[in-house]
Amino acid sequence: MKSLKTFAYGVGASALGLALPAITFAQSNPFQRGSDLVGEVGSEAGIDSSQTLPQIVGAIINVVLGFLGIVLVVYLLWGGFKWMTSGGSEEGVGEAKTMIRNAIIGLIIIVASYAISTFVLGSLVNIAT
Three-state DSSP class for residue 87: coil
The pLDDT of residue 88:
84
The pLDDT of residue 44:
66
pLDDT in tens, the chain (129 residues): 666 666 556 655 555 555 555 555 555 655 566 666 666 666 666 666 666 777 778 788 888 988 998 999 999 999 999 999 998 899 999 999 999 999 999 999 998 998 888 888 778 777 766
- Indicate the pTM of the whole model: 0.55
| Distance from C-alpha of 36 to C-alpha of 124, rounded to nearest angstrom | 29
User: Chain centroid to CA 53: how far?
Assistant: 15
| Distance from C-alpha of 55 to C-alpha of 120, rounded to nearest angstrom | 11
The pLDDT of residue 55:
75
| Distance from C-alpha of 77 to C-alpha of 93, rounded to nearest angstrom | 14
Q: Does 89 lie in the same domain as 31?
A: no
Q: Does 68 lie in the same domain as 115?
A: yes
Q: Does 75 lie in the same domain as 118?
A: yes
User: Chain centroid to CA 113: how far?
Assistant: 21
Number of domains in the chain: 2
| Full domain range(s) for residue 93 | 51-129
The pLDDT of residue 16:
52
| Distance from C-alpha of 12 to C-alpha of 6, rounded to nearest angstrom | 10
Q: Does 77 lie in the same domain as 65?
A: yes
The pLDDT of residue 126:
76
| Distance from C-alpha of 8 to C-alpha of 12, rounded to nearest angstrom | 6
